[in-house]
Amino acid sequence: MNFLKLPFLLKLALAIISILGIGYILIWGQSILAPFFLAFLIAMLFLPVATFLEKKLKFPRSLSTITSLMIMLIILTGLIYFFGTQLSNFSKDIPHLTQQFNTVFHNLQKWVSDTFNVRINEQLDYLDQGLNKLLSSSGVILGFTFGVFTSGLGFLFFFILFFIFILNYRRILNNFIINVFNEKHKESVREVVTEVRIMTKRYIIGLCLQVIIVSTLTTIVLSVLGVKYAILLGVLTGLLNVIPYIGICISLVISCFIAFATGTLSTCVYVAIGYIGVHVIDGNIVLPFVVGSKVKINALFSFIGILIGEQLWGISGMFLCIPAIAIIKIIFERVDGLKPWGKLLGEDEKPHRKKKSYKISKNITLKEMD
């Protein structure tokens, strides 16, 4: 078969047009594609559960899907209840936190005025008036709240539907991906699909374990330091840690503010040191031993992916972009013509680097994953 050879500029133009077209589709279909992709990731997480129910307990496909859905909803309800009770307790301290913040802010303002002779009172009064007008506008607040609530309900509704469909019709979807290619490519496509499914499942499970470990470590650190709402801040840190680099910084700022507002400046410094320690443990032990290096994304493309994800899908895009890039990297590394792009997304490889291992006990040894 003779392939048509196109000039480089024409190939470049077609690639740019294709990228712009894909970006437009992603933005236009956000309300459907975002819950679909999240449902796919969670379905990969619950796939071992559904497989166990079908093979070991002889559940029919529909019953195993419904059982997996019930387990997922119980976990989701528990998380919502946890955050609801924690935020309810946190709301009781909002007046105290506000008073503490205002005191610190006015002291800082006085120090700047006395030190640099900068008259900023008028500008700050103007900002206060604008903020008061915004907060006094009940229509804006109600409209924003209603919008967030309705969009969240719609996202949850589509997410549950897609979760059911993906688990229940996973065999049909798998066969479609394989059969859509030519007969001579079916075997290699089947291998690629199998490897991608296994690696994706391992990555999602590893990511969930990473969230649990980081949440536990952060909670322990904050509890030892006597910071209020240690459990809430620890779980929030674990969830935000899914966003590389930026997530840990956001959670650090929040925790330092709470520690300073409810404690002392020294506590705030200790919290910052504790977060640095947790981040070091996460990057050097948790990530390589739990998630693995084959799906690790380098810092440059992680940051670019976060920015693109935020522009496409907002906050949900920031959380979903890293798993999306990891899956793309897995696919690229298993397609001959795209292997250089897969290596570009990953970390710099050291060919003679020995895998790390830690001996926990006589019979338990923790080894670094591929």
pLDDT at residue number 74: 93
pLDDT of residue 369: 56
Residues 106 and 210 in one domain: no
Residue 9 belongs to a domain: no
Which stretches within the chain are classed as H helix? 8-28, 30-55, 61-92, 94-116, 121-136, 138-168, 170-179, 186-224, 230-240, 246-262, 265-281, 299-313, 315-332, 339-345
Q: Alpha-carbon distance 142 to 148, whole Å?
A: 10
> What is the count of structural domains for the chain?
2
Domain match, 142 and 271 both: no
Q: Which domain holds residue 231?
A: 203-348+355-370
Encoded amino acid at 173, one letter: L
Burial of 160 (0-12, 13-18, 19+ CB in 10 A): middle
- Same domain, yes or no, for 264 and 320? yes
Residue 22 lies in a domain: no
Please check whether residue 212 lies inside any domain of the structure: yes
The pLDDT, as a whole number, for residue 190 is: 79
Instruction: Say if pTM beats, i.e. exceeds, 0.75.
Output: no
- The per-residue pLDDT for 199 is 76
- Walking along the chain (370 residues) 10 residues at a time, the average pLDDT comes out as 65 82 85 88 87 88 91 89 78 70 68 62 53 48 47 81 89 81 74 77 82 91 87 88 81 85 80 90 77 68 84 82 82 78 74 58 57
Whether 10 is in a domain gets the answer: no
Half-sphere exposure of 227 toward its Cβ, with a 13 Å CA cutoff?
Answer: 32
User: Hey, is 169 helix, strand or coil?
Assistant: coil
135 lies in some domain: yes
